[in-house]
Amino acid sequence: MTTVEARGIGKRYRKFVAVDDVSFTLEPGRTTALVGQSGSGKSTIAKLLLQLERPTTGQILVDGEPVARRGAAAARYRRTVQMVFQDPYASLNPFHSVGHHLERPVRLHHRDLTGPQVRERVLHLLERVRLTPAEEVARRRPHELSGGQRQRVAIARALAPEPGILIADEPVSMLDVSIRLGVLNLLATLQREEQLAVLYITHDLATARHFSDDILVMYQGRIVERGPADEVILNPRHEYTKLLAEAAPNPERRIKNLQA
Protein backbone atom coordinates (compact mmCIF):
# COMPACT_ATOMS: atom_id res chain seq x y z
CA MET A 1 0.00 0.00 0.00
CA THR A 2 1.75 3.06 -1.20
CA THR A 3 0.59 6.53 -2.00
CA VAL A 4 2.55 8.76 -4.30
CA GLU A 5 1.95 12.45 -4.34
CA ALA A 6 3.20 14.94 -6.90
CA ARG A 7 3.32 18.35 -5.31
CA GLY A 8 3.62 21.29 -7.67
CA ILE A 9 6.06 19.52 -10.00
CA GLY A 10 7.33 21.31 -13.08
CA LYS A 11 9.87 20.51 -15.77
CA ARG A 12 11.44 22.88 -18.21
CA TYR A 13 13.86 22.00 -20.98
CA ARG A 14 15.90 25.16 -21.39
CA LYS A 15 13.17 27.71 -22.22
CA PHE A 16 10.41 25.23 -23.02
CA VAL A 17 8.05 24.50 -20.17
CA ALA A 18 6.92 20.88 -20.55
CA VAL A 19 5.11 20.55 -17.23
CA ASP A 20 4.01 23.47 -15.10
CA ASP A 21 2.97 23.24 -11.45
CA VAL A 22 1.16 19.90 -11.52
CA SER A 23 -0.17 18.30 -8.33
CA PHE A 24 -2.01 15.02 -7.89
CA THR A 25 -2.11 11.96 -5.68
CA LEU A 26 -2.11 8.30 -6.70
CA GLU A 27 -3.86 6.12 -4.14
CA PRO A 28 -4.00 2.33 -3.82
CA GLY A 29 -6.90 0.76 -5.66
CA ARG A 30 -7.71 3.85 -7.68
CA THR A 31 -7.08 4.49 -11.35
CA THR A 32 -6.33 8.02 -12.40
CA ALA A 33 -6.47 8.86 -16.07
CA LEU A 34 -4.22 11.54 -17.47
CA VAL A 35 -5.76 12.84 -20.66
CA GLY A 36 -4.33 15.33 -23.11
CA GLN A 37 -3.12 15.83 -26.62
CA SER A 38 0.33 14.93 -27.90
CA GLY A 39 2.96 17.23 -26.45
CA SER A 40 0.83 18.30 -23.53
CA GLY A 41 3.32 16.86 -21.04
CA LYS A 42 1.71 13.53 -20.21
CA SER A 43 4.78 11.42 -20.90
CA THR A 44 7.03 13.94 -19.16
CA ILE A 45 4.98 13.41 -16.01
CA ALA A 46 5.53 9.66 -16.37
CA LYS A 47 9.28 10.20 -16.70
CA LEU A 48 9.32 12.46 -13.66
CA LEU A 49 7.43 9.90 -11.57
CA LEU A 50 9.82 7.16 -12.71
CA GLN A 51 12.87 9.24 -11.80
CA LEU A 52 14.11 9.08 -15.38
CA GLU A 53 14.10 12.88 -15.28
CA ARG A 54 14.32 15.27 -12.37
CA PRO A 55 11.64 17.88 -11.81
CA THR A 56 12.91 21.46 -11.99
CA THR A 57 10.38 22.58 -9.41
CA GLY A 58 8.21 20.87 -6.82
CA GLN A 59 8.71 17.41 -5.37
CA ILE A 60 7.43 13.87 -5.42
CA LEU A 61 6.44 12.30 -2.10
CA VAL A 62 6.06 8.61 -1.29
CA ASP A 63 3.83 8.08 1.72
CA GLY A 64 4.58 11.67 2.71
CA GLU A 65 8.38 11.33 2.41
CA PRO A 66 10.38 13.01 -0.35
CA VAL A 67 11.92 10.57 -2.85
CA ALA A 68 15.56 9.67 -2.27
CA ARG A 69 18.00 10.23 -5.11
CA ARG A 70 20.31 7.31 -4.40
CA GLY A 71 21.01 4.47 -2.02
CA ALA A 72 18.66 1.88 -0.57
CA ALA A 73 15.69 4.26 -0.44
CA ALA A 74 16.02 4.99 -4.17
CA ALA A 75 16.06 1.25 -4.88
CA ARG A 76 12.89 0.86 -2.80
CA TYR A 77 11.27 3.60 -4.86
CA ARG A 78 12.25 1.74 -8.04
CA ARG A 79 10.31 -1.23 -6.74
CA THR A 80 7.32 0.92 -5.83
CA VAL A 81 6.75 2.63 -9.16
CA GLN A 82 6.74 0.63 -12.39
CA MET A 83 5.72 1.42 -15.92
CA VAL A 84 4.18 -0.15 -19.01
CA PHE A 85 5.56 1.61 -22.07
CA GLN A 86 3.57 2.77 -25.04
CA ASP A 87 5.27 0.85 -27.82
CA PRO A 88 5.54 -2.89 -27.16
CA TYR A 89 7.76 -3.20 -30.24
CA ALA A 90 10.38 -0.89 -28.73
CA SER A 91 10.14 -1.73 -25.05
CA LEU A 92 11.43 -5.30 -25.31
CA ASN A 93 15.07 -5.93 -26.15
CA PRO A 94 15.15 -7.88 -29.44
CA PHE A 95 18.28 -9.72 -28.29
CA HIS A 96 16.86 -11.30 -25.15
CA SER A 97 14.23 -13.94 -24.47
CA VAL A 98 10.94 -13.18 -22.75
CA GLY A 99 12.25 -15.08 -19.73
CA HIS A 100 15.23 -12.72 -19.43
CA HIS A 101 12.95 -9.68 -19.42
CA LEU A 102 11.04 -11.01 -16.41
CA GLU A 103 13.92 -12.69 -14.62
CA ARG A 104 16.00 -9.53 -14.20
CA PRO A 105 13.45 -7.43 -12.27
CA VAL A 106 12.55 -10.45 -10.13
CA ARG A 107 16.21 -11.04 -9.28
CA LEU A 108 16.94 -7.36 -8.70
CA HIS A 109 14.15 -6.90 -6.21
CA HIS A 110 14.20 -10.27 -4.49
CA ARG A 111 17.88 -10.96 -4.02
CA ASP A 112 17.36 -13.86 -1.62
CA LEU A 113 15.55 -16.07 -4.16
CA THR A 114 17.29 -19.13 -5.58
CA GLY A 115 17.38 -19.95 -9.29
CA PRO A 116 14.41 -22.34 -9.34
CA GLN A 117 12.35 -19.92 -7.22
CA VAL A 118 13.04 -17.09 -9.68
CA ARG A 119 12.08 -19.40 -12.51
CA GLU A 120 8.85 -20.30 -10.78
CA ARG A 121 7.97 -16.64 -10.28
CA VAL A 122 8.65 -15.85 -13.93
CA LEU A 123 6.32 -18.61 -15.05
CA HIS A 124 3.70 -17.49 -12.55
CA LEU A 125 3.91 -13.91 -13.89
CA LEU A 126 3.41 -15.15 -17.44
CA GLU A 127 0.37 -17.13 -16.36
CA ARG A 128 -1.06 -14.09 -14.62
CA VAL A 129 -0.96 -12.12 -17.86
CA ARG A 130 -2.56 -15.10 -19.62
CA LEU A 131 0.47 -16.05 -21.67
CA THR A 132 0.36 -19.84 -21.73
CA PRO A 133 2.03 -22.26 -21.98
CA ALA A 134 4.35 -20.18 -19.83
CA GLU A 135 7.36 -22.51 -20.27
CA GLU A 136 7.27 -22.04 -24.00
CA VAL A 137 6.55 -18.31 -24.01
CA ALA A 138 9.50 -17.71 -21.66
CA ARG A 139 11.84 -19.27 -24.20
CA ARG A 140 10.62 -17.12 -27.07
CA ARG A 141 12.16 -13.93 -28.38
CA PRO A 142 10.06 -10.72 -28.63
CA HIS A 143 9.95 -10.85 -32.44
CA GLU A 144 8.11 -14.16 -32.22
CA LEU A 145 5.21 -12.55 -30.35
CA SER A 146 2.32 -10.40 -31.54
CA GLY A 147 1.86 -6.81 -30.37
CA GLY A 148 -0.74 -7.80 -27.78
CA GLN A 149 1.43 -10.62 -26.45
CA ARG A 150 4.39 -8.28 -26.21
CA GLN A 151 2.36 -5.77 -24.26
CA ARG A 152 1.33 -8.57 -21.89
CA VAL A 153 5.02 -9.37 -21.40
CA ALA A 154 5.63 -5.68 -20.68
CA ILE A 155 2.84 -5.74 -18.10
CA ALA A 156 4.28 -8.86 -16.49
CA ARG A 157 7.68 -7.15 -16.34
CA ALA A 158 6.16 -4.13 -14.63
CA LEU A 159 4.49 -6.40 -12.08
CA ALA A 160 7.66 -8.41 -11.39
CA PRO A 161 9.01 -6.15 -8.60
CA GLU A 162 5.55 -6.19 -6.98
CA PRO A 163 5.01 -2.45 -7.28
CA GLY A 164 2.38 -0.35 -5.53
CA ILE A 165 2.06 2.11 -8.38
CA LEU A 166 1.75 1.32 -12.06
CA ILE A 167 2.10 3.90 -14.78
CA ALA A 168 0.60 2.87 -18.10
CA ASP A 169 1.67 5.26 -20.85
CA GLU A 170 -0.89 4.80 -23.65
CA PRO A 171 -0.61 1.02 -23.21
CA VAL A 172 -2.95 0.16 -26.06
CA SER A 173 -2.47 2.95 -28.60
CA MET A 174 -0.03 0.85 -30.65
CA LEU A 175 -2.19 -2.27 -30.60
CA ASP A 176 -4.87 -3.53 -32.96
CA VAL A 177 -8.30 -2.26 -32.03
CA SER A 178 -9.50 -5.84 -31.65
CA ILE A 179 -7.12 -6.69 -28.82
CA ARG A 180 -7.13 -3.36 -26.97
CA LEU A 181 -10.04 -4.29 -24.75
CA GLY A 182 -8.38 -7.54 -23.70
CA VAL A 183 -5.20 -5.76 -22.58
CA LEU A 184 -7.17 -3.04 -20.76
CA ASN A 185 -9.36 -5.60 -19.00
CA LEU A 186 -6.23 -7.49 -17.96
CA LEU A 187 -4.78 -4.29 -16.49
CA ALA A 188 -8.03 -3.62 -14.63
CA THR A 189 -8.15 -7.16 -13.22
CA LEU A 190 -4.54 -7.04 -12.06
CA GLN A 191 -5.17 -3.68 -10.48
CA ARG A 192 -8.10 -5.02 -8.45
CA GLU A 193 -6.12 -8.09 -7.37
CA GLU A 194 -3.07 -6.14 -6.24
CA GLN A 195 -4.81 -2.97 -5.10
CA LEU A 196 -2.49 -0.99 -7.37
CA ALA A 197 -2.58 2.73 -7.83
CA VAL A 198 -2.66 3.18 -11.59
CA LEU A 199 -1.86 6.26 -13.63
CA TYR A 200 -3.44 5.63 -17.02
CA ILE A 201 -2.05 8.00 -19.61
CA THR A 202 -4.15 8.24 -22.76
CA HIS A 203 -5.84 10.52 -25.21
CA ASP A 204 -8.83 8.27 -25.58
CA LEU A 205 -11.64 9.72 -23.49
CA ALA A 206 -13.89 6.69 -23.87
CA THR A 207 -11.46 4.23 -22.28
CA ALA A 208 -10.44 6.85 -19.73
CA ARG A 209 -14.03 7.13 -18.58
CA HIS A 210 -14.58 3.39 -18.59
CA PHE A 211 -11.45 2.31 -16.75
CA SER A 212 -10.64 5.11 -14.34
CA ASP A 213 -12.04 6.67 -11.22
CA ASP A 214 -10.62 10.14 -11.71
CA ILE A 215 -9.60 12.07 -14.77
CA LEU A 216 -6.97 14.78 -15.05
CA VAL A 217 -7.05 16.78 -18.26
CA MET A 218 -3.74 18.27 -19.33
CA TYR A 219 -3.31 21.11 -21.76
CA GLN A 220 0.04 22.72 -22.58
CA GLY A 221 1.75 21.40 -19.47
CA ARG A 222 -0.97 22.33 -17.00
CA ILE A 223 -3.85 20.40 -15.52
CA VAL A 224 -6.88 22.32 -16.70
CA GLU A 225 -9.58 20.10 -15.31
CA ARG A 226 -9.87 17.32 -12.77
CA GLY A 227 -12.55 15.31 -11.06
CA PRO A 228 -14.45 12.01 -11.02
CA ALA A 229 -14.46 10.39 -14.45
CA ASP A 230 -18.16 10.73 -15.26
CA GLU A 231 -18.25 14.28 -14.00
CA VAL A 232 -15.41 15.40 -16.25
CA ILE A 233 -16.79 13.69 -19.33
CA LEU A 234 -20.45 14.62 -18.90
CA ASN A 235 -20.00 18.17 -17.62
CA PRO A 236 -16.76 19.43 -19.11
CA ARG A 237 -16.01 22.94 -17.95
CA HIS A 238 -12.74 23.82 -19.64
CA GLU A 239 -12.79 24.66 -23.37
CA TYR A 240 -10.23 22.00 -24.19
CA THR A 241 -12.14 19.24 -22.40
CA LYS A 242 -15.28 20.21 -24.28
CA LEU A 243 -13.35 19.98 -27.51
CA LEU A 244 -12.08 16.52 -26.57
CA ALA A 245 -15.57 15.33 -25.62
CA GLU A 246 -16.93 16.68 -28.91
CA ALA A 247 -14.26 14.88 -30.87
CA ALA A 248 -15.06 11.49 -29.37
CA PRO A 249 -17.46 9.49 -31.52
CA ASN A 250 -20.93 9.60 -30.01
CA PRO A 251 -23.49 7.30 -31.66
CA GLU A 252 -26.48 8.86 -29.90
CA ARG A 253 -25.63 12.33 -31.12
CA ARG A 254 -25.00 10.99 -34.59
CA ILE A 255 -28.41 9.26 -34.72
CA LYS A 256 -30.12 12.41 -33.47
CA ASN A 257 -28.42 14.40 -36.22
CA LEU A 258 -29.49 11.89 -38.83
CA GLN A 259 -33.11 11.94 -37.65
CA ALA A 260 -33.29 15.71 -37.65
Partner 1 sequence: MSARVPVPRTAKLRAGLVIGGFIVLFGLLGPLVVQDPSRVDDIGLTGPGGGHWLGTTQTGQDVLAQLAYATRGSLTVGAVVGVLTLLLSAFFGIVGAYAGGWVDEAFSLFTNVMLVIPGLPLVIVISSYVPDKSLLLVSLVLSLTGWAGSARVLRGYTLSLRNRDYVLASRVAGERRWRILGVEILPNLIPLLASQVVFAVIFAILGEAGLSYLGLGASGSFTWGTMLYYAQNGLALRLGAWWWFIPPGLLLALFGAALSLVNFSIDEVINPKLRDQTRAARRGWRMSRAQLEKAKEATL
Length of the chain: 260
Tell me which of 17, 50, 179, 188 binds partner 1, using CB under 8 A.
Answer: 50
Part in contact with partner 1 (CB under 8 A); list of ranges 13-21, 87-95, 194-202, 219-227: 87-95
CB atoms within 10 A of CB 17: 16
- The closest of 31, 30, 6 to 19, measured between CA atoms, is 6
Contact flag: residue 62 with partner 1 (CB under 8 A)? no
Q: In whole angstroms, what is the distance from residue 260 CA to residue 256 CA?
A: 6
Size, binding site for partner 1 by CB under 8 A:
27
Q: In whole angstroms, what is the distance from residue 252 CA to residue 258 CA?
A: 10
Instruction: Look up residue 163 and give its DSSP letter.
Output: -
Q: In whole angstroms, what is the distance from residue 217 CA to residue 42 CA?
A: 10
Pick between residue 46 and residue 215 the one whose CB is nearest to partner 1.
46
Tell me which of 2, 32, 40, 91 binds partner 1, using CB under 8 A.
Answer: 91
Contact flag: residue 224 with partner 1 (CB under 8 A)? no
C-alpha torsion angle, residues 34, 84, 40, 2 (rounded to 10): 50
Contact flag: residue 202 with partner 1 (CB under 8 A)? no
Pick between residue 91 and residue 191 the one whose CB is nearest to partner 1.
91
Part in contact with partner 1 (CB under 8 A); list of ranges 1-9, 18-26, 157-165, 227-235: 157-165
Binding site for partner 1 (CB under 8 A): 50, 52, 75, 78-79, 81-83, 85-87, 90-96, 104-105, 108-109, 141, 154, 157, 160-161
